[in-house]
Amino acid sequence: MIVQMIWQSAAVVLGGLLLGLVYKGLDRKLAARMQGRIGPPLRQPFLDVRKLMVKENVVPRDAVPWLFHAAPILALVAAATVLLYLPLGGLAPVLTGRGDLILVLYLLAVPAVAMALGGFAAGTPFSAVGAQREIVMMMSYEFPLAVVVVGIVWRTATLGHSPAFSLAVVSGTPLWSLVGPLGVLGLALLLLCLLVVTPAELSKIPFDIPEAETEIAGGLLVEYSGVNLALFYLADALKTVAMGALVVALFIPYGLAGVFGLEGLVAGIVDVAFFLVKVFAVVFASVTVVRVAMARLKVDQVARGFWIPITTAALAGLVLLILDKAVVG
């Protein structure tokens, strides 16, 4: 049992790394095309990681060395652990029954906290500013994210499915066909809010204020190089897949095998392939298109935007689900 869990975990993490790097390559290529540029080759993220792995790790003179080195490891481990709790296509989570959505929310916050700690540990002004921005941004988007999760979980629980916070239960109970018109509208609002939160979780334009190369020269990552920077890069790739998989699990967990009457190994392959397409669609819609269409926001705009309009929209979606429960039952 333990041996099986170990090799399954290794396969999921390795697959997540490869998939995340492929998505990053596609993101850069498609963004370039939308801007009228040729863009880097699709394999560029792999080349970047290989180059960083052979570079020297430079530690600032005023840094806290142990925390400076520990931060990227913590970010990578947390991002990898998230994947072990998420259903991947027709496959159950590797750690199913050993955690739920609340744990996933905590784990999603750890990479951001690790980056902030690494920024403070670097001991330089630009990194400290970037770390402060990361914390402010995290405090801004975590509340609407929690509202989205609570709304989905509560409505699932009202239908008699338990344990309510289990991702396997939530992904196995698509709500779109189980609620009335008010519920569909509420789900649409919650989905929209989660799609807005996704680039903020990944610190992508317009929410890349903790790095902001043109303002603070890379911010919390300005002093990182070599293997440490590669670990942060890989953590970002894993978190990209994790956020896409979370959106799919909560809102679009449908498969194709049942539609075409497929069974066995062929059904599993088709559902996993369809899952990868859905994750890419989420990443493309919420990250690639948004960062091409928008410019970087200011810190106060991010905080105000998440705390007022986005949180209001998420709460409105929750209220609509409550009203739908009162009407439909």
Q: Any idea which of 72-76, 89-93, 224-228, 323-327 has the lowest mean pLDDT?
A: 89-93
pLDDT band at 45 (very low <50, low <70, confident <90, very high): very high
Percent of the chain with pLDDT over 70: 95
**Helix locations, 54-124, DSSP H:** 65-84, 101-122
Average pLDDT, the chain: 86
pLDDT band at 188 (very low <50, low <70, confident <90, very high): very high
* Domains of the chain, residue spans: 2-328
102-108: long-range pairs with CB below 8 Å, 24+ = 102/165, 104/167, 104/246, 105/142, 105/145, 105/146, 105/149, 107/78, 107/79, 107/81, 107/82, 108/82, 108/145, 108/201, 108/239, 108/242, 108/243, 108/246
β-strand partners of 91: 88
Average pLDDT of 152-160? 86
CA-atom Rg of the chain in angstroms:
20
Cα-Cα-Cα-Cα torsion 59, 78, 107, 23, nearest 10 degrees, comes to 100
Answer whether residue 260 shows pLDDT above 70: no
Kindly give, in sequence order, each residue whose CB lies less than 8 Å from that of residue 254, ignoring residues fewer than 6 positions away: 174
**Helix, strand, coil content of the chain in percent (nearest 5):** 75, 0, 25
Answer whether residue 46 shows pLDDT above 90: yes
Yes or no: say if 128 and 120 are a contact pair by the CB < 8 Å rule: yes
Q: Any idea which of 28-32, 133-137, 143-147, 167-171 has the lowest mean pLDDT?
A: 167-171
Q: What is the pTM of this model?
A: 0.89
Q: Regarding predicted confidence, which is higher, 219 or 63?
A: 63
pLDDT of residue 154: 87
Answer whether residue 265 shows pLDDT above 90: no
Percent of the chain with pLDDT over 90: 27
